[in-house]
Structures are given as structure tokens and as C-alpha cells.
Amino acid sequence: DAAQVALNEVRALMLQSQHMVGDQLAELEMFDRHSVNLSQRLYEEALACRMRPFADGTAGLARMVRDVGNTLGKSVRLDIVGHATRIDRDILEKLDAPIGHLLRNAVDHGIESPQERLQAGKPEQGRITLEARHSAGMLQVNVSDDGAGIDMAQLKKAIVARRLSTEDIVARLSEAELLEFLLLPGFSLRDTVTDISGRGVGLDVVADMLKQVRGTVRIASTAGQGTRFQLQLPLTLSVIRSLLVSIGGEPYAFPLAYVNRTLALQREELDMLEGYQHFSFEGRQIGLVSAHQILQKGELRAKGESVMVVVIGDNEHTYGLAVDRFLGERMLVVQALDARLGKIPNVQAGALMEDGAPVLILDVADMLRSVEKLSLAGQLENVGQATAEDTGVARKKVLVVDDSLTVRELERKLLSNRGYQVTVAVDGMDGWNAVRTEQFDLVITDIDMPRMDGIELVTLIRQASHLRSLPVMIVSYKDREEDRQRGLEAGADHYFTKSSFHDETLLQAVVDLIGAA
């Protein structure tokens, strides 16, 4: 009897200790959530401090246009649209010189004289429009005029006269390709030098600035109706939304604004054309290139029957880059690389992950140029299939979904030490993206998470025909009966509260569901 009483006391003490540990975990979790929320608010406020209205950078532009017009004997009006558009102050400062150049260019080259405008049936006063707006997560600045447009015949003559190309090639080039010659250093359609034109400073100053801020410029011209310069830039230089991928066992980030699509291509979807791999994308054949070769990270040996592909570029310069796997989307704070390193091929900047690990942000424009060079040299490598020797013994893969860094790392280390291959996701949406792009043997998820909670994640997994048989385990630190009921009804195979199990209990449950690693 005394032994039984002692045993009961020990059990009571153990139960009390478990409850104390559970309460401590709950408090720690609440502190973690509060810290994350506070840091997010601080980050948003700091970012907001960097943003300025477009109007701050347009003071004096209308007068400058009017004065240049009067000097040239033209009547010109500048209309500014998007005064309140928010722009990173660094970008706003860098836009000053290029916008000024484009406006002077429009007055001098674009707008006709009053007599010519009246003969063409246009108002005597010319109109130039400067517009700033947000579009698809990017800043778009347009400078357009209602002038005569660019004389394509004169442009062709200037290209040939400056020996930039031959007459035969120029005759075959499209209008968009011809207009790109305007961005070359020193290129001008004027033979005489004035205070406004023909000074040897062409539109290359605009192109150079855009390269510095990871932007692009497109030129469109319609004879008799005018010309438009469309500048596309990132909203801020300090933070970018990016797609994280794994290449050669290391994480890399693609700026999301320069990613057209992500694909999981099956082996039968790859075709061989002239010795190189291609696949069908939006009704045309796109070349497949190994990101490993571009970054000189060895050779990609795709595992399984699918190849993970990031589609970049536009028009005829579109390619698919094969990577090892997708790691999800992240907001990254851009850290400029030391200027003493010079220009690192295919790399734009660096950043730090939430766990402090460094990651390189890729330069998509530079990668496209690298692909073009390898293609012209005939050195592009095909994506090979991994053999048994490459892969070794297959380990079972487990996805851990939890918004708490502490819990994620605890479960990751616990499972990794037992030999499982573990991938982590920071919330339900990140976890859903992971299970759609990779194959897992088990998903372990929390319930209370931002963007998508664990119940929604389990429901989506059970609704997807190819994922219905995927085992799912819910581990929640809150011991609520209604959560247990909802989780099991959604289709979870196991439900644990974090205060009711220890390491061996979790590991045994994993073994029961999917077997040893």
C-alpha cells in the first residue's frame, strides 16, 4: 500500500511537471508570437519611412519642359499622373536624371513644330505625359508624347551609318529590335550638336540607371501618334519578394518579379530538339537549361520522374532553369555585396534567412546572358536522370509545418537525428506549396498559423486526389477538445498536444505511420 501511495505521488508530480512544462511552452509561444508581430510592425514602419510620394521627385519638371519648348519654338504641356504613388526614396533620387533626359528628348525629338502639328490636324500645343503607378508588384513609370513618333527609316540609316549592323540584317529586324539600338552608348539620330540634342549622351544613361536598380525599359512608337518609354522598376531596393530554390544543396533566391512561372515537368514532357532539351510552354517550345551549369555547381541529376523548373525571360529569350527543388516564397532584406568583389556573375545581392543563414539573390538578366553565351557556343548540358549510385539509400521525407521557429527546429532535429529527411514550412500556405511541388512521406503540422491554419491544410491535402493517402499528424500546444475533433474530422491520422507527449512518443507515432527512416 505504501508503495502504491508513493507511486501515485510520483505520478501526480510527473503530471504536475508536465502541466508546468506545457504552461511554460505556451508562455514561450505567446512571447515568440508577440516578438514576431512586433518585429513585423517595426519592419513595416521602417519600410514606410523609406517610401516617398512621386510628387517629391517631379518639382520643376513642368517648368523645365515649358522652357525647353520655348527655346525650340514649340508649345508643350506636361501632364503628371500618379502624384501620390509611393516610391522608395533611393529609386526616386535615381529617377531624376533619366526622367529629365526623357522629357527633353520628347520635346526635342518627339513634339513637332506648331506648323507641322496644325498641318497634321493636331492641337498646336504638344502634350507629354509622365505617369507613375504600381503594376504587378513593380513600379511602372511611363513617359509618352503625342508627337510624330520615331522615323524608322531614319533609324535604320543611322544604324548602318554607324556600322552597328549591315543593311541586310537591319532589313530583317523587327521594330522592337530596331528601337533597342536607341539605348546604345552615344547613339543619336541628330548629326548636329546643340545644347539639347546630339551631345553624345544618349538614352544609354536611362538604360544604365535601370541596370543599377534591376529595372527594364521598353520603347514603343507609332508613326504620327507619338512615342512611349515604359520604365519598370522594383518598388523598393531594400526588400524584395523572392522564390527560394535549392541548387546543389544550397538555397538561392529568384526575385519574384522576374519569374514567369514555376513548373514540375514530367519526364515525358521533355523533348529533344537539335540535341537540346525543350518543353512546351504557352504554345511554344522553350529550352531547358540546368541552373547548376549556369552557377557552376556541378551537374543536375534529377531525382524521380519530375524536374522542377523556373521559367524566366520574355519573348524569344525565354528559358526554363532546372533546379533541385522549390523552398517557397520569402520576403528578403537585400544586403548589397561589397564593392571590392566587383560584379559576381549571375549574382545580384545577398540576404539573410530568418534563421540567420545567408542566401544569394540571383541576377536574372545576367543569367539570361549566360544562357545565351552557352547556347551560341553549343555548350548547354542536358538534365540527366539520377541513378541509384547518385541517390544512395532513399530516406523517408517529412514536412514539418509550424510558425514557431523554436518548435520547427526542435522537431526537425529530433527527426533528422533518427535519419529522416526533414523539410520545414513557416505556415500553412508555405506547407501547401511544398506538398504540391514535392513528394513527402509524412506531414506534421501545427493548428494556429497565419495565412492558412493546420485544419485548412489537412482539408486541402485530403481533397487533392494525389495526396489523399499522405499521412498527416497534428501537433498542437493547445489542449482543446474542439481542435482535436476538427483535426480528426478533417482527416488527420494522429493528433497530439505538445504537453502530452515526449520525444519517443512522437518518434514512435512517426514509425507507426511511415516506418523507419
Listed residue (404, 449, 406, 402) closest to 423, CA to CA = 402
- Is the pLDDT higher at 317 or at 195? 317
Q: Find out whether 216 and 207 touch, Cβ atoms under 8 Å.
A: no
| Whole-number pLDDT of residue 390 | 44
Statement: residue 173 has pLDDT above 60: yes
Q: What is the mean pLDDT of residues 100-123?
A: 90
Entry pTM? 0.54
| Whole-number pLDDT of residue 395 | 78
312-368 pLDDT tens trace = 987 778 899 999 889 888 888 788 788 787 888 899 889 887 667 789 999 888 899
The Cα-based distances of 179 to 26, 182, 214, 315 in angstroms read 62, 6, 20, 15
C-alpha cell at 301: 541529376
What pLDDT band is residue 389 in, cutting at 50, 70 and 90?
very low
Mean pLDDT over all residues of the chain?
83
CA dist 374 and 381 (Å) reads 9
* Per-position DSSP letters for 42-63, written without gaps between them: HHHHHHHHHEEEGGGG-TTHHH
Q: What is the mean pLDDT of residues 297-322?
A: 79
Statement: residue 22 has pLDDT above 90: no
Listed residue (148, 223, 155) closest to 187, CA to CA = 155
Statement: residue 386 has pLDDT above 60: no
Q: Which helix (H) or strand (E) holds 39?
A: helix 2-50
| % of the chain at pLDDT higher than 70 | 91
Statement: residue 191 has pLDDT above 70: no
What pLDDT band is residue 198 in, cutting at 50, 70 and 90?
very low
Q: What is the mean pLDDT of residues 66-83?
A: 92
| Whole-number pLDDT of residue 434 | 87
Statement: residue 266 has pLDDT above 50: yes
End-to-end CA distance of the chain: 45
- Secondary structure E strands in 40-164: 51-53, 76-81, 86-88, 126-135, 138-145
| Whole-number pLDDT of residue 228 | 93
CA dist 304 and 56 (Å) reads 54
- Is the pLDDT higher at 271 or at 113? 113
* Per-position DSSP letters for 321-336, written without gaps between them: EEESEEEEEEEEE-BP
Q: What is the mean pLDDT of residues 203-210?
A: 80
CA dist 33 and 24 (Å) reads 14
Q: Which strand ranges, in their side-by-side order, compose the sheet holding 216-222?
A: 76-81, 126-135, 138-145, 226-234, 216-222
Highest mean pLDDT pick, 77-81, 86-90, 162-166, 466-470:
77-81
CA dist 85 and 460 (Å) reads 38
| % of the chain at pLDDT higher than 90 | 20
Beta bridge partners of 254: 243
Give exposure, 316-348, as e/b (b: 16+ Cβ within 10 Å).
eebbbbbbbebbbbbebebeebeeeeeeeebbb
451-465 pLDDT tens trace = 888 888 999 988 888
* Per-position DSSP letters for 426-466, written without gaps between them: SSHHHHHHHHHHS--SEEEE-SS-SSS-HHHHHHHHHHSTT
Listed residue (190, 126, 121) closest to 162, CA to CA = 190
| Whole-number pLDDT of residue 391 | 45
| Whole-number pLDDT of residue 303 | 59
What pLDDT band is residue 197 in, cutting at 50, 70 and 90?
low
Q: What is the mean pLDDT of residues 237-266?
A: 86
Listed residue (125, 122, 128, 124) closest to 145, CA to CA = 128
Give exposure, 357-366, as e/b (b: 16+ Cβ within 10 Å).
eebbbbbbbb
Statement: residue 387 has pLDDT above 60: no
| Whole-number pLDDT of residue 124 | 92
* C-alpha atoms less than 13 angstroms from C-alpha of 103 in its C-beta half-sphere: 28
* Helices 89-105 and 204-212, axial angle in degrees (round to 10): 170
Q: Is 356 exposed, middle or buried (0-12, 13-18, 19+ CB in 10 A)?
A: exposed
The SS3 call for residue 281 is strand
Statement: residue 192 has pLDDT above 70: no
Q: What is the mean pLDDT of residues 221-229?
A: 91
The SS3 call for residue 397 is strand
Q: What is the mean pLDDT of residues 182-208?
A: 66
Statement: residue 142 has pLDDT above 90: yes
| Whole-number pLDDT of residue 433 | 86
